[in-house]
Amino acid sequence: MSTNSNVQEISAYSERVGRALSKVPGWDDGKATWSWISGGGAHKNFIITNGNNAQAVLKLWNCDWEGLGVIPPSAVPLLNTVEAGRFGIGAPVIAIVDDPLGIMLEFLPGTPVDLKDPGILHLVAKRARSLHDSGMCFKRDFNPFADARVILSSAERKGATLPDDYKEIRKTIDRVEKALDLRPRDFLPSHNDLYSANILRLADGTIRFIDYDLSGNSDRCYDLGLIATFEGLDPEKVDKLTESYFGQFDSKLRARTELLSVAADHHQFSLFAVALAAADMNDDYDYTGFMRDIWGRILGRIGDPGFGKFLSEVEA
Query: CATH code at 168?
Result: 3.90.1200.10
More confident residue, 36 or 248: 248
- Which domain covers residue 54, as residue numbers? 3-106
48 and 171 share one domain? no
- pLDDT surpassing 90 at residue 22: yes
List pLDDT tens digits, range 178-214: 999 999 999 999 999 999 999 999 999 999 999 999 9
48, β-bridge pairs: 34, 56
pLDDT of residue 233: 97
Q: CA nearest 139: which of 71, 80, 98?
A: 80
- Residue 304 CA to its chain's centroid (Å): 26
163 and 294 share one domain? yes
Among residues 64, 84, 106, the one where a domain terminates is 106
Helices (H), 22-117: 64-67, 75-86
pLDDT, mean over the chain: 90
Residue pair 81/93 in contact by the 8 Å Cβ criterion: yes
pLDDT of residue 4: 40
150 and 287 share one domain? yes
Among residues 88, 106, 124, the one where a domain terminates is 106
Among residues 90, 106, 122, the one where a domain terminates is 106
Range with the poorest average pLDDT among 1-5, 65-69, 298-302: 1-5
50 and 142 share one domain? no
Exposed e or buried b per residue across 280-298, where buried means at least 16 C-beta atoms within 10 angstroms of its C-beta? eebeebebeebbeebbebb
pLDDT of residue 6: 43
First to last CA, the chain: 55
List pLDDT tens digits, range 131-173: 999 999 999 999 999 999 999 998 888 888 899 999 999 999 9
Give the CA angle between residues 189, 194, 198 to the nearest 5°: 115
Confidence class of residue 3 from pLDDT cuts 50, 70 and 90?
very low
From the number of C-beta atoms within 10 Å of its C-beta (0-12, 13-18, 19+), residue 135 rates as: exposed
44-49 β-sheet, strand order: 33-37, 44-49, 55-60, 102-106, 93-97
pLDDT of residue 160: 84
> Measured between alpha carbons, how far is 140 from 218 in angstroms, rounded to an integer?
9
> Measured between alpha carbons, how far is 278 from 149 in angstroms, rounded to an integer?
17
Output the CA–CA distances (angstroms, integers) from residue 314 to 174, 218, 224, 238, in the order listed: 14, 17, 16, 16
Q: CA nearest 254: which of 232, 230, 237, 231?
A: 237
User: Peptide bond before 112: cis, by omega within 30 degrees of 0?
Assistant: no
pLDDT of residue 39: 60
- Using DSSP's 3-state secondary structure scheme, residue 190 falls into strand
- pLDDT surpassing 70 at residue 62: yes
293 and 147 share one domain? yes
Range with the poorest average pLDDT among 58-67, 234-243, 252-261: 58-67
Range 280-290 average pLDDT? 67
CATH number at 101 reads: 3.30.200
Q: Which amino acid is at 266?
A: H
71 and 123 share one domain? no
Residue pair 233/120 in contact by the 8 Å Cβ criterion: no
> Measured between alpha carbons, how far is 204 from 207 in angstroms, rounded to an integer?
9
83 and 153 share one domain? no
115 and 146 share one domain? yes
Percent of the chain with pLDDT over 70: 92
pLDDT of residue 8: 45
pLDDT of residue 7: 43
116 and 255 share one domain? yes
- Using DSSP's 3-state secondary structure scheme, residue 244 falls into helix
Residue pair 43/34 in contact by the 8 Å Cβ criterion: no
List pLDDT tens digits, range 29-59: 778 899 988 765 568 899 999 888 899 999 9
117 and 226 share one domain? yes
> Measured between alpha carbons, how far is 41 from 304 in angstroms, rounded to an integer?
30
311 and 185 share one domain? yes
Domains in the chain, number: 2
Q: Which amino acid is at 224?
A: L
199, β-bridge pairs: 209
- Residue 120 CA to its chain's centroid (Å): 19
Range 235-258 average pLDDT? 97
220 and 151 share one domain? yes
List pLDDT tens digits, range 81-131: 999 999 999 999 999 999 999 999 999 999 999 999 999 999 999 999 999
